[in-house]
Structure 1
């Protein structure tokens, strides 16, 4: 993306309740990942670490596609399963994986947003914050069915039950959205330790108050811990600095047969 500058910040905290931080994060090259491990007794930390190390292998490649991201997540799932085979005591470990990668689509730079589980990616353009990813969780299914509201989902007793994760034989398929870059946009990649403590409006306020990505990441984590800190909290903030509002796609990816539309319109999740 000529003439534009990527700036990134990352922060994490174990929180007030947990004794171990099972989250892992990556911000390297053009790939940014947050993985929230599950399984306890350090097994969750192992699973999330496998995801980060597997995705790090993409950071040195000169050119990526959305399919490369999907294949690497499938590989991470296979490696977690292999680790469990080698260490049966870790059976049941798994992890979410969500993030953002700079990819090529139709000969132009695009973002690939990906997700497995209930960690999230948000996109902020012109001060408007939108959740890009869709949670793979029981409460999200209840929200979509109209049984509960988004606000009720944040405190629902089943809010931590995910319907997809890495570390399984059957429920690891990632969602991937390919988006054209937009000068001045910002992304927040986070574990649910952030979103279970802070409503979206509070996330938006903190982003607005702190344009520097490292400070924004630190302040988001601090606010989540102060609000309760019942889980590990990890945040990566990515800024694409440039003239606000300029759409940077050069050619139409649809002309090449690649689908670059989000699976759901972003406005549907505001």
Structure 2
């Protein structure tokens, strides 16, 4: 499995509140983590930094022969939630901060994804693209109740209102998705600075172009900036294609 990690402050922001990273263990397990922080001045990047650094620490100590992957992810999300909540209560300027959080734990061609917020994971394969995660957003509640359509949600004035984030409540319960790599396919983890700007067909076209994996990741970020770049833009692109990194 090959991967590319990209993050960019965008065209309008002065601080990058996104944090993204991929950690690889000697046993071959891979952890991809995406966090999009939110809060007061400089608090968003504090929340996302805590999330990534804590996941790195917990992953180094993870024993898969003792703890099942889903249980480990649940525990780690809860621990990170408490760490961010504690930091926000004892540090001035960090009150109310939180972060979206996605963690994908892969062992060979199988993985499990834990998700809170509106950062996303897409599975991209030769004949299509599928959004794996479902945003924890206000507009999705409206869609579920039949008040608006999915098309109306794309331009709804409250489309960015989150109903769930790590570090904002006493407890957190992530959604889980079991996934599997198909031949010649990708998993794209990204913040909403990317998914709000690029259509699924366009993403598919870029990923199945003749560019290297690095160039594909860079092109997605550049195109999101060209489309306005109002937000920070971050991605992790995992590939099981045989291609140059």
| Superposition TM-score, scaled by structure 1 size | 0.80
Deviation at 1:227, TM superposition (A): 0.4
Q: Which of 80, 89, 97 in structure 2 is aligned with 1:93?
A: 97
The answer to whether 1:227 aligns with 2:227 is yes
Q: Which of 67, 70, 73 in structure 2 is aligned with 1:69?
A: 73
Deviation at 1:170, TM superposition (A): 4.7
Residues 217 and 237 in structure 2, CA contact (< 8 A), matched pair in contact too: yes
Distance change in 2, residues 1:77/1:146 (3 Å)? same
Structure 1 runs of 4+ aligned residues shifted over 6 Å read none
Distance change in 2, residues 1:181/1:206 (3 Å)? closer
CA distance in 1, matches of 2:178, 2:154: 27
Deviation at 1:9, TM superposition (A): 0.5
Paired position in structure 1 for 2:87: 83
Paired position in structure 2 for 1:27: 22
Deviates more, 1:149-158 or 1:83-92: 149-158
CA distance in 2, matches of 1:76, 1:216: 31
CA distance in 2, matches of 1:149, 1:36: 26
Structure 1 residues 21-73: Cα deviation after superposition (integer angstroms, max 9, x where no partner): 10000111100011100013110000001111111124434636121112111
Distance change in 2, residues 1:41/1:225 (3 Å)? same
Deviation at 1:171, TM superposition (A): 6.3
CA distance in 2, matches of 1:194, 1:89: 28
Deviates more, 1:153-162 or 1:42-51: 153-162
| Superposition TM-score, scaled by structure 2 size | 0.88
Distance change in 2, residues 1:58/1:123 (3 Å)? farther
Distance change in 2, residues 1:171/1:127 (3 Å)? farther
Distance change in 2, residues 1:211/1:124 (3 Å)? farther
Deviation at 1:207, TM superposition (A): 1.5
The answer to whether 1:15 aligns with 2:47 is no
Distance change in 2, residues 1:199/1:147 (3 Å)? farther
Report the 3-state secondary structure (helix = DSSP H, G, I; strand = E; otherwise coil) of the residue aligned with 1:113: strand
RMSD, aligned CA: 1.9
Paired position in structure 2 for 1:114: 114
CA distance in 2, matches of 1:112, 1:213: 23
Structure 2 unaligned blocks of 5 or more: 25-29
